[in-house]
Amino acid sequence: MQKVVAVLGGGIGGLSACHHLSKSPNVSKIVLLERSGRCGGWLSSIRRDDGAVFEQGPRGVRPAGAVGRNTLNMVSELGLESEILPVTKDHVASKNRFLYVKGQLHKMPSGPGGVVRTIPPFSRPIIQSVLKEILIRKGTEEDESVHAFVSRRLGSELANIAIDSLCRGVFAGDSRQLSVRSCFPLLYEAERSRGSIVLGMLMGSGKSTEGPVESVFLSFLHYATIFTHCSLPSQHTLIESRFYSNFCVFFFKPELASVLPPAAQPLLEELRAIALVTVAVVNLEYEGFILPVTGFGHLVPSSEDPGLLGVVYDSVPFPQHNRSGGLTTRLTVMMGGAWFEQTFGHPDSVTKQTLLDRATQAVTSHLGVNSQPVWSYVGLLKNCIPQYHLGHWKRLEKMRQYISNHNLPLTLAGASYDGVSVNDVIFSGRTAAEGLIGKT
Ligand X SMILES: Cc1cc2nc3c(=O)[nH]c(=O)nc-3n(C[C@H](O)[C@H](O)[C@H](O)COP(=O)(O)OP(=O)(O)OC[C@H]3O[C@@H](n4cnc5c(N)ncnc54)[C@H](O)[C@@H]3O)c2cc1C
Ligand Y SMILES: C=Cc1c2[nH]c(c1C)Cc1[nH]c(c(CCC(=O)O)c1C)Cc1[nH]c(c(C)c1CCC(=O)O)Cc1[nH]c(c(C)c1C=C)C2
Which phi and psi angles does 122 have, rounded to 5°? -85, 150
Which phi and psi angles does 420 have, rounded to 5°? -95, -15
Torsional sign, CA 349, 352, 353, 356? positive
Pick from 80, 136, 170, 238: which binds ligand Y (CB under 6 A)? 170
Pick from 30, 334, 338, 380: which binds ligand Y (CB under 6 A)? 334
Pick from 128, 177, 343, 421: which binds ligand X (CB under 6 A)? 421
Q: Which one of ligand X, ligand Y, none interacts with residue 414, CB within 5 to 8 A by kind? A: ligand X
Instruction: Compute the residue count for the chain.
Output: 440
Q: Which one of ligand X, ligand Y, none interacts with residue 99, CB within 5 to 8 A by kind? A: none
**Peptide linkage before 121 cis (omega within 30 of 0):** yes
Q: Report in angstroms how near the CB of residue 46 gets to ligand X at its nearest.
A: 13
Pick 232 or 308: Cβ nearer ligand Y: 308
Pick from 40, 155, 169, 317: which binds ligand Y (CB under 6 A)? 169
Residues 273-302 contacting ligand Y, CB under 6 A? 279, 296-297, 299
Site map for ligand X, 112-151, x if CB under 6 A? ----------------------------------------
377 alpha-carbon distance from chain centroid: 21
Q: Report in angstroms how near the CB of residue 165 gets to ligand Y at its nearest.
A: 8
E strand or H helix at 403: helix 392-405
Pick 160 or 423: Cβ nearer ligand X: 423
Sheet strands (E) in 352-436:
375-386, 410-412
Pick from 128, 245, 354, 421: which binds ligand Y (CB under 6 A)? 421
Is 178 a binding residue for ligand Y by CB under 6 A? The answer is no
Pick from 21, 281, 282, 300: which binds ligand X (CB under 6 A)? 281
Query: 247 to each of 15, 273, 282, how far by Cα in Å?
Result: 14, 22, 36
Q: Which one of ligand X, ligand Y, none interacts with residue 255, CB within 5 to 8 A by kind? A: ligand X
Pick 173 or 414: Cβ nearer ligand X: 414
Q: Report in angstroms how near the CB of residue 322 gets to ligand Y at its nearest.
A: 18
Query: 212 to each of 62, 94, 198, 271, 315, how far by Cα in Å?
Result: 11, 12, 23, 39, 22
Residues 238-277 contacting ligand X, CB under 6 A? 250-251, 255, 258
> How far is it, in rounded angstroms, from Cα 391 to Cα 178?
9
Q: Report in angstroms how near the CB of residue 224 gets to ligand Y at its nearest.
A: 18
Residues 6+ apart with CB under 8 A from 269: none
For the chain, the C-alpha Rg in angstroms (whole number) is: 22
Site map for ligand Y, 196-235, x if CB under 6 A? ----------------------------------------
Query: 200 to each of 145, 205, 341, how far by Cα in Å?
Result: 19, 8, 38
> How far is it, in rounded angstroms, from Cα 24 to Cα 26?
5
> How far is it, in rounded angstroms, from Cα 380 to Cα 224?
20
Residues 37-66 contacting ligand Y, CB under 6 A? 62
Could you tell me whether strands 246-249 and 3-8 are parallel, antiparallel, or unpaired per DSSP bridges? parallel
Kindly state the number of chain residues that form the binding site for ligand X, as judged by CB under 6 A. Answer: 37
Site map for ligand Y, 362-391, x if CB under 6 A? -----------------------x------
Is 184 a binding residue for ligand X by CB under 6 A? The answer is no
Q: Quick count: other Cβ atoms within 10 Å of Cβ 436? A: 20
Are 11 and 249 spatial neighbours (Cβ–Cβ below 8 Å)? no
Q: Which one of ligand Y, ligand X, none interacts with residue 297, CB within 5 to 8 A by kind? A: ligand Y
Q: Report in angstroms how near the CB of residue 200 gets to ligand Y at its nearest.
A: 17
Q: Report in angstroms how near the CB of residue 56 gets to ligand Y at its nearest.
A: 11
| DSSP secondary structure string for all residues of 142-211 | S--BHHHHHHHHH-HHIIIIIIHHHHHHHHS--TTTBBHHHH-HHHHHHHHHHSSHHHHHHHHGGG----
Considering only 67-75, 142-150, 356-364, 380-388, which stretch makes contact with ligand X by CB under 6 A? 380-388
Considering only 66-74, 169-177, 238-246, 268-276, which stretch makes contact with ligand Y by CB under 6 A? 169-177
Is 312 a binding residue for ligand Y by CB under 6 A? The answer is yes
Interacting residues with ligand Y (CB under 6 A): 62, 97, 168-170, 172, 279, 296-297, 299, 309-310, 312, 334, 385, 420-421
